[in-house]
Amino acid sequence: MSQSHNGKMEQSCDSTQTPLEAASFGSLTGQTETKQGRLQALVLKDGNLYLRSPSGELPQSLIEANEAAATGRIEEATRLLNGKVEQAVVEIIAHDPFRTDIMLVLGMVFKQTRQINKAKEWFEKILQQESHPLVCNELGYICRCMGHLSDAIQYQKRAVKADPNNAELLANLAIMLTATGKAREGINLFRRAVEIEPANSAMHSNFLFNLHYLPNLEPQMLFAEHERWGRIHAPASLGQVSHSNVPDPDRRLRIGYISPDFCMHSIAYNFEPLLDGHNREVVEVYGYGNVKIPSNVTERLKQKFDHYRNIYGMDDESVVALIEEDQIDILVDLGGHVSDNRLLVMAYKPAPIQVDYIGIDTTGMQAIDYRLTDTLSDPPGSQKFYTEELVFLPDGFFCYRPHDSAPPVVSGPALRKGYITFGSFNNSCKVNPFTIALWAEVLKANSKSRFLLKFGGGADHQMREYYFQQFEQLGISQDRVAIYGWKLPDEHLKLYGEVDIALDTYPFNGGITTSEGLWMGVPVISLVGKCCASRAGLAILSYLGLELFATSTPEEYVAKATALAGNLEALEKIRASMRERMAASTFFDAKGLARRVETAYRKMWHRWCRDNKAI
């Protein structure tokens, strides 16, 4: 779908969408005499740009770099995209300034090789010669990666204005609006996009994920929307009903994990401890990576699997055949309806047992048998909101591994500043008007306190003004709020030294962000809701014996934040002892998690073997 806006690989893009692929072409040597409108054949399909034919020859090294980028060979593309290539393009344009097609190719490859400043430069050159909504769409993505959210939204609105019935452009604008906390407005656009292209499963998946940013989430609404996706895109009739796996109940199991996020993404950080903890005498572990832009994390994870398959660019049927050839016993999807998911592969049921893990909600699919969870994230009575059978793991279903560059914990800033600093480092998608109003109430109840807000686009002047105005309308002056943008990991973690108490978002709680804050000694106040996304704070705090900081009402949230702010001695004790507390908890026990998961897998397998007359 509209997977053009993400930035799990870009430094300041922090949403759940992914960048476009390099441009694809029908011919790379086509000729035409047309001087303008060189991009009229440019289309956006399933989140990828397609140009039927360039209007003239391209340098061979640029063709090769584009092909490498389009198939995920980023290092090779970067090597091929040297200064000589750009100079060759400049010389071609000097003779024909209207070669916007070659500018497009160069810009796309620069973007895929993460040279976003160069990409922005070339896309701006295109607009000087030829206005095109898809070029505006690209600049919207690039500006967001640079942390310029306000410019990104303007480019996205320009794209939609030029092509108002383009579902992918509507969805991308919806994502941008959601990134600024305008979830209701974004979801309305998303609904319209899905109505325009009802067969677009990826767009529909993105819609489901973004639903979780809406205030006042109701489990029944979420379940109905996810079940609808399953009926439309993954009907039960697609799935295999028999498998040739040997039904030996006690043999070593082949476990396959499939995900687009074996890269710099929160899902990978949640999953890696489990991968490390697996007992390889009990399970043989396969990775199926649909990774668009590999990173050093991808390379690290590859080495930890017994077998790793790069499935990026493969069609569903080919991936299904590969999984069947590997004779996977239990296939586990990581993340559910995240961008670039391969849930449609799961729809064919290439493995006899299929499991959802780390997804924030039901997949809505009959082909997925189980969901790993715990009773904190999915309390009693939750089963009716899942198509999968819930499997409750004792002591939690994930664990945390801190960043290697995490600095030591320092004393709280209140001791040296004389006032309490509250803070949030969550994704701006989660910072909606309800959450800001809740934070404002905390600040009002603590008259000398300050608030530190950090998110990917926080360096953007217009975005800063937008959030300052949000606080001012609620009676909180600008001098009480500090806003920061993207920072390198060590600088990001060091900034927690300027926060006394973290305030969680609602209804989409923090996960990795909450864990990071706690590792840096900062206690977190969280509001608990009815859905899994709004119960992550409760789960993490409870793993550490800090469930006191999980609250059931906004009033309790304000009261507990205020009570904690009034006890500096307790704050310092919490801060000084937090790492020891975390290290001694199940939240840090990767091997313990792996044993719990492997026990669950074995029970699933025994049931399948019984059904197949092996027991």
Buried b / exposed e over 404-435, threshold 16 CB at 10 Å, is eebeebeebbbeeeeebbbbbbbbbbbbbebb
Residues contacting residue 465 through CB under 8 Å, at least 6 positions apart: none
**Shared-domain flag, residues 391 and 419:** no
Q: Are residues 276 and 372 in the same domain?
A: yes
Q: What is the mean pLDDT of the segment spanning 76-104?
A: 86
Neighbours of 59 (CB within 10 A): 19
Are residues 359 and 273 both part of a single domain? yes
C-alpha distances in Å from residue 135, one per residue of 4, 103, 118, 128, 178: 12, 11, 14, 11, 21
> Do 466 and 353 have their domain in common?
no
Of 243, 248, 275, nearest to 259 by C-alpha is 275
Joined together, the tokens standing for residue 591 give 């091997």
Closest CA to 75 of 122, 114, 119: 114
**Three-class SS state of 253:** strand
Q: What is the mean pLDDT of the chain?
A: 89
> Any idea what the CATH number is for the domain that residue 361 is in?
3.40.50.11380
pLDDT at position 52 = 53
pLDDT of residue 22: 39
The span from the CA of 133 to the CA of 50, in Å, is 14
Q: Distance from first CA to last CA of the chain, Å, rounded?
A: 45
The CB density around residue 603, as the number of other CB atoms within 10 Å, is 12
- H helices, E strands: number in the chain: 24, 16
pLDDT score, position 285: 98
- 550 and 442 belong to one structural domain: yes
Residue at 183 is within a domain: no
- Confidence category of residue 85, pLDDT binned at 50, 70, 90: confident
Integer Rg of the chain from CA = 25
Q: What is the mean pLDDT of residues 361-379?
A: 97
Model confidence at 40, in pLDDT bands (50, 70, 90)? low
Please indicate, yes or no, whether residues 577 and 596 belong to a single structural domain of this protein: no
Integer Cα distance of 149 and 154 in angstroms: 9
Q: Could you tell me the maximum CA-CA distance found in the chain, to the nearest angstrom?
A: 77
Residue 184 lies in a domain: no
Cβ pair 17, 33 in contact under 8 A: no
Show which of 135, 168, 201 is a domain's final residue.
Answer: 168
Helix (H) or strand (E) holding 474: none
Look at 8 and 259; give whichever has higher pLDDT: 259
Let me know whether 294 and 425 are in one domain.
no
Which stretches of 143-274 are assigned E, i.e. beta strand?
253-259
| The predicted structure's pLDDT at residue 573 | 97
Average pLDDT over residues 379-399: 95
Beta carbons within 8 Å of 111's beta carbon, 6+ residues apart: 19, 20, 22, 119, 138, 141, 142
- pLDDT of 436 higher than 50: yes
Determine, yes or no, domain membership for 207.
no
User: According to DSSP H, which parts of 377-474 are helical?
Assistant: 414-417, 433-445, 461-472
Task: Give residue 18's pLDDT band: very low, low, confident or very high (50, 70, 90).
Answer: very low
Predicted local distance difference test score (pLDDT) of residue 39: 65
Range of the domain at 441: 414-588
pTM above 0.85, yes or no: yes
> What is the model's pLDDT at position 403?
86
* Tally of structural domains, the chain: 3
- 389 falls within a domain: yes
* Whole-angstrom distance, CA of residue 269 vs CA of residue 489: 14
| Domain end (from 168, 195, 228) | 168
Q: Which of 574, 550, 546 is nearest to 561 (CA)?
A: 550
Domain boundary residue among 168, 203, 235? 168
Q: How far is CA 60 from CA 31, 63, 67, 78, 106, in A?
A: 16, 5, 11, 15, 12
What pLDDT does 66 receive?
83
Local confidence band at 299 (pLDDT 50, 70, 90 cut-offs): very high
User: Measuring CA to CA, which residue among 236, 218, 565 is closest to residue 387?
Assistant: 236
Please report the pLDDT score of residue 48 as a whole number: 54
Q: Residue 119 sits in a domain of what CATH number?
A: 1.25.40.10
Asked if pLDDT for residue 36 goes beyond 80, the answer is no
Q: Is residue 192 part of a domain?
A: no
- Residues 476 and 562: their CA atoms lie apart, in Å, by 16
Does residue 340 sit in the same domain as residue 443?
no
Give the mean pLDDT of 450-479: 95
What is the identity of the amino acid at 3? Q
User: Which tokens sit at 287?
Assistant: 């990775």
Residues 463-472 have a mean pLDDT of 95
DSSP state of 17: B
- The band of 102, judged by pLDDT with boundaries at 50, 70 and 90, is confident
Closest CA to 102 of 42, 15, 176, 168: 42
Residues 135 and 253 in one domain: no
Mean pLDDT value across residues 325-354: 97
Q: Are residues 550 and 470 in the same domain?
A: yes
Give the per-residue pLDDT at 159.
Answer: 95
Distance of CA 62 to the CA centre of its chain: 31
Residue 197 domain flag:
no
Q: Which of residues 348 and 132 earns the better pLDDT score?
A: 348
- If asked whether residues 34 and 76 sit together in one domain, one would say yes
**Does residue 487 sit in helix, strand or coil?**
coil
Kindly tell me if the per-residue pLDDT of 42 is higher than 80: no
Residue 140 CB partners (closer than 8 Å, separation 6+)? 4, 5, 152, 153, 155, 156, 159, 172, 173, 176
Mean pLDDT for 84-110 is 87
**Is the separation of the CB atoms in 27 and 161 below 8 Å?**
no
Contacts of range 105-109, beta carbons closer than 8 Å, 24 or more positions apart: 105/22, 105/23, 105/25, 105/51, 105/54, 105/58, 105/62, 105/66, 106/62, 107/138, 108/20, 108/22, 108/23, 108/49, 108/66, 108/69, 108/138, 109/22, 109/62, 109/65, 109/66, 109/69, 109/77, 109/81
Is the model's pLDDT at 17 over the cut of 70? no
pLDDT tens column, 164-209: 999 999 999 999 999 888 999 999 999 999 999 999 999 999 999 9
**Comparing C-alpha atoms, which of 527, 543, 525 is closest to residue 535?**
527
Q: In sequence order, what are the beta bridge partners of 289?
A: 259, 310
* Domain containing residue 520: CATH number: 3.40.50.2000
Q: Does the residue 252 lie in any domain?
A: yes
Q: 27: pLDDT confidence band, cut at 50, 70 and 90? A: very low
What pLDDT, in 10s, does the model give residues 223-261?
999 999 999 999 999 999 999 999 999 999 999 999 999
Looking at the fold, whether 345 and 276 belong to one and the same domain comes out as yes
Range 30-36 contact pairs with CB under 8 angstroms and sequence separation of 24 or more:
30/54, 30/55, 30/56, 31/55, 31/56, 31/57, 32/56, 35/96, 35/98, 36/98, 36/129, 36/130
Q: Does residue 477 fall inside a structural domain?
A: yes
